[in-house]
Chain A
Amino acid sequence: MSQYKVLVADDNASDRLILSTILRKQGHLVVQAANGQEAVDLFDAEKPHLVLLDALMPVMDGFEAARLIKRLAGEDLIPIIFLTSLKDAASLAKCLDAGGDDFLSKPYNRVILEAKINATQRMRQMHETLQKQRDQIAENNTYMLQEQRVAKAVFDNVAHSGCLDSPIIKHLLSPLAVFNGDVLLAAHKPSGGMHILLGDFTGHGLPAAIGAMPLAEIFYGMTVKGFGMTDILREINMKLKSILPVGVFCCAGMVDISFWKRTISVWLGGLPNCYLLRQNGERIELASNHLPVGVVDHRAFDDNCYQYNMEPGDRFYLWSDGIHEARNDLDEMYGEERLEALFDHTEDHDLLFDRINDDVNEHIKNSAPDDDITMLEVLMVDESEIREEQMVVKMGAVSGPTDWSMSYKLGPTTLRDFNPLPLLLHQLLEVPGLRPHSGTLYTLLAEMFSNALEHGVMRLSSDLKVDPMGFAKYYQMRQEGLDNLTAGFVEFCFEHTPTAEGGSLLMRVIDSGSGFDYGDDGVVKAGDGNFHGRGLRLVASLCKYARHRGAGNQFEALFEWQREI
């Protein structure tokens, strides 16, 4: 049986004695008071679990004492049981009105007394448990909000940054939670132009925000290093695919703007249709034609982009589904029609962005928003208007190796089973201006290398490749030749020089073969031809020039790159 501390207040000494004796026999501790005032004082000092109050007492009666005790107890529930010989309903009701939790009639019945003590103590304990849990929840909540505030500060620095404050960009982000799942990133490219990315992660809050970190890091990291949009998207897709659980992904749109070429490339995966708005009012609608990022693995990732010319004054609009799905109090979505109507009826395009914002907010004013609303407008301007802003970025990126040369010679053992191309490409991409051309450079290296290896070192004849049998034979001989290679070499020589417009990369591949008579100047022309020689013509069409040199065992190609501003 549980032991409680019980405060007994009764002006009648013998009644008090009887009750105290019963309580002690039942194992409780007893504190005695002879009137209401004493009861209140002792309550404060002794902190009993239960108060038994006679209703009628001198100095201060039980009703007044009950009120004061309840006030002293504050949030705690200390049950009060009135002791009374009163029998009429009104008096008993008055006991409960004064704050009593129950009453006990004199003379005392010890069974009922014990039962009432237990009942009220169960109440008190339940109340205590609730209080503890409530306090725990409140504390956890405070802690969580504190954590979220810190995390949000980090998140905002990461997810909504870059050159979003550029005068050609208008953007809107309405956070639904402390975190939202929307990401808006913009960065100047070192070669001029700008990358913009709008992402909408599935879900809200922390799970949605966490994916934004690597996304933003890749976006900024690769943009500043000069990588192209499709390389960045591939990298982001691969990263998100590997870290996000199945079912969490990012609907995204990415834009690559060149102010110099006045073009825009757009990749859309899972976002609502976006608009290109011409200055003359013509509106071109671009539909998402890709899966969101983080869904398919890198082999299935599709990086085809829309390409458009943009004249100064043309605008591009990108948004998450928050706008289309914004609901009013009648549960109607804002929808595409309203949006189209605004586009069709706003003559002054400068006002359009704010109109959309106002109209959507007007639509949802009486209801709680249920998705994040993120929207962006970017204005094409003449290159000169943005040049100053871009110069700041460019200064940093032009550094890096610009005047250098190197050569790399591979002997037979290395040629047998080592692929030098990734290593060489990596070296070339140290030049920031070459990074947007990584795909082309790889092709150039690969074609020149296989030409030197197959026709130079191993002296295979392309004539074999005219029919399927020959094709197979050719590659069979190539493999055998490699397996048994004991002599020969391929040497790569590179020379990079800065030019007024950017830079030029001279590539020369020399092989140990005996060469051939290439006739007059050895220049290889782009254009179509037969089955063989296609590789070198491909090189020629990607380069400023390409030609055979020396005894025909050297091949030289010049690749030039231009700054965009």
Chain B
Amino acid sequence: MSIWASASQDGRSLTINIEGRFDFSAHQDFRESYEKTDAEPDEYCVDMKQTSYLDSSALGMLLLLRDHAGGDSAKIKIVNCNADVRKILTISNFEQLFTIQ
């Protein structure tokens, strides 16, 4: 499992990549990925291309990111989910809170 973030050139957007299992063991790394950045992004992108699994604590972490990014005004995209991950996001109704692509 590893998590890394990269800001766009203008610093307006931050992409967080999550590799492997996204569960409670990731909470520290996930939080640091958006807190310990110099960028002040307007929008976030969580790239799940390499995420194999996601549990309910990961859902909690996504909600914390949403809070960090401004709550209801947060702009967060979750992209490249595999079928299993997508299913969990869907049944948790996360489509109402995030842009899932």
Contact = CB atoms under 8 A, between A and B. Distances in A.
Contacts, number: 80
B5 to A, nearest CB: 16
Given A439-B87, A472-B27, A465 B55 contact: no
Interface stretch (B8-16, B36-44, B45-53): B45-53
Contacts of A472: 27-28, 31
Interface in A93-107: none
B31 A468 contact: yes
A58 to B, nearest CB: 96
B93 interface: yes
B35 to A, nearest CB: 8
Q: Closest 4 interchain pairs by CB?
A: A535-B56, A439-B84, A541-B91, A534-B56
Nearest to A469: B31
Contacts of B64: 467-468, 471
Contact of B60 (A304, A439, A465): A465
Interface in A279-318: 298-300, 302-305
B100 interface: no
Contacts of B53: 442
5 contacts: A299-B50, A439-B84, A468-B67, A541-B91, A541-B92
A124 interface: no
Interface in A506-565: 526-528, 531-532, 534-535, 537-538, 541-542
Interface residues on B, range: 20 to 34
Interface in B53-70: 53, 55-57, 59-61, 63-64, 67-68
A143 interface: no
A304 B53 CA distance: 14
B24 A478 contact: yes
B88 interface: yes
Most chain A CB inside 10 Å of its own CB: which residue of B20, B24, B59: B24
A471 B56 contact: no
Nearest to B34: A468
Contacts of A68: none
A85 interface: no
Nearest to A541: B91
B60 A471 contact: yes
B29 to A, nearest CB: 11
B93 A531 contact: no
A264 B39 CA distance: 44
A191 B68 CA distance: 45
B40 to A, nearest CB: 17
Contacts of A528: 92-93, 96
Contact of B27 (A298, A302, A471, A526): A471
A239 B49 CA distance: 20
Given A528-B92, A541-B91, A542-B91, A450 B55 contact: yes
Contact of B24 (A300, A442, A475): A475
A498 to B, nearest CB: 26
A527 B57 contact: no
Contacts of A471: 27, 31, 60-61, 64
Contacts of A439: 83-84, 87
B55 A300 contact: no
Interface string A405-417: 0000000000000
B30 to A, nearest CB: 10
A538 B53 CA distance: 14
B56 A299 contact: no
Given A447-B55, A471-B64, A531-B60, A304 B82 contact: yes
Nearest to B55: A446
Contact of B20 (A299, A532, A537, A538): A299
A535 B55 CA distance: 8
B27 A443 contact: no
A465 B49 CA distance: 27
Most chain A CB inside 10 Å of its own CB: which residue of B20, B59, B84: B84
A531 to B, nearest CB: 6
A357 interface: no
Interface in A1-16: none
Interface string A95-135: 00000000000000000000000000000000000000000
B49 A300 contact: yes
B66 to A, nearest CB: 11
B92 A475 contact: no
A253 to B, nearest CB: 17
A240 B81 CA distance: 23
A447 B53 CA distance: 13
B82 A299 contact: no
A202 interface: no
A545 to B, nearest CB: 15
A478 B57 CA distance: 13
A527 B38 CA distance: 37
Nearest to B54: A443
B60 A538 contact: no
A392 to B, nearest CB: 29
Contacts of B49: 300, 302
A23 to B, nearest CB: 84
A526 B87 contact: no
B53 to A, nearest CB: 7
